[in-house]
Structure 1
Amino acid sequence: MLEYQAKSDALQGKIILVTGAGDGIGKTAAITFARHGALVVLLGKTVSKLEAVYDEIEASGGPKPAIVPLDMKGATEQNYKDMAETIAEQFGKLDGLLHNASLLGVLGPFEHMDMGAFNDVMQVNVTAQAMMTKALLPVMKLAEKPSIVFTSSGVGRQGRSYWGAYAISKFATEGMMQVLAHEFDGTHLRVNSINPGATRTSMRANAYPAENPATLKTPADIMPTYLYLMTDDSAEVNGQAFNAQ
């Protein structure tokens, strides 16, 4: 899927929610989905960043997006239920859900792990995504060929020293994807995961401050896999762990 090329209108008429849509991979995914015809729901905690993405999509002629300002570290289950009801009322369905937002936390030896930071990572990367998915499933079932995509990591498929809470959370992400995929196997709803790989983002820079970002793929470079999993070309693909590089 690394060389996948979608038709320009491959997402026409689809409603896709992207978390962490204010920058990095989420921003690029939102703009890319809109460029292919999707109405994108931009979810993030920084309104100014979401507004900038909104303006960029509108300026490019894409469908007018929607903005959902939400801090996943503090949001409650009721917040996600309310969001799901609003999406159902305004759009009547949800075709795609890209779980992109993640918290890196603090890297370091396991024995020095800060449990407060650990809980924050698990809240954003696991608990919030579970609550959001649970709330959105009824409105996603209203779509013809809905797709849920979780963002994983190489350290969520093979554990690595000092990656602590983040790695553990990504193993949980893979498990959540597998549980949902098995539960909905044989239905019109599919669930998969993507490991974006080493990508030129602020999170990567925080994890590897000495790394030259020019040596890394940009978010735009890895979009073929994201597009594939949101288009109907992947309608029969379920429970798979993809690499975007």
Structure 2
Amino acid sequence: MTTTLHPTAKAYHNDETTNAYVKGRPTVSMESLEYLIQELNLNKNSRVLDLASGTGKFTKLLGEKFNKVEAIEPSPQFREACKNELEIIKNTKNPELEYSVLEGLSTNIPKQDSSFDVVFVSQAFHWFANIESITEISRVLVKGGALVMLWAKIDEQDPISKSIMFQGEKYHDEFTPQYRFGTWQEVFDKMKEKKFEPINLNSIVDPNLKQKSFTFDQETNKELLTCLAMSISFISLLPQEKKDQLIEKIEKILESNPISSNGKILI
């Protein structure tokens, strides 16, 4: 069984990367969560888990809509940031919120069987797209419960975003999993082909995926886009010299484009 953290994911176990993640990473639209609440017949008292919650970008939206939110995250720095987000929501938007943020992995969720009506995974499933994780997620879900995977994707048709992504991808190590590669879907294909016997597929999440996309704008600027780049796992592990080179390239892209040379832009 895969019970260890992916080596590149250990990049998220430090304060510098955590701060960059908090500042620069986009959130997920509230519209998408409201759609899921209706689609899955959820309510304020539904039992929800945010698996691999990160710094709480999506968890805080759950905190607005549900009275009890639990989160699992291996990085202690990310867990602390997630707790801070949920505490803010409790103090400002949902005083009835009860929450916990626990250490754990997708293959080792420290909760009892049938604990949740839905397990959310935002921006993270590609890190642990394997049958061991699916089996563990199924264990903590009630029968008929849902696994929901979300990703916030930058518009690659936008010339500024495309140029910045192109510069960042030059540093990809071909070892770090990414959503855009699509390989995370292979585990579901194998489930449908019943390549994981003798696992009881009748008691596991439905491998027939449904997809829904939402478009939303997020305001950003040079500082935040730089933080976004520095929050990417394989980039955060680079020597400082290479980080500085990438930051310089990003700044030149923004300064040379009339849309972005003068402050705030949308991505």
Which TM-score applies when normalising by structure 1?
0.50
Select the structure of larger CA radius of gyration: 2
TM-score, reference length from structure 2 = 0.47
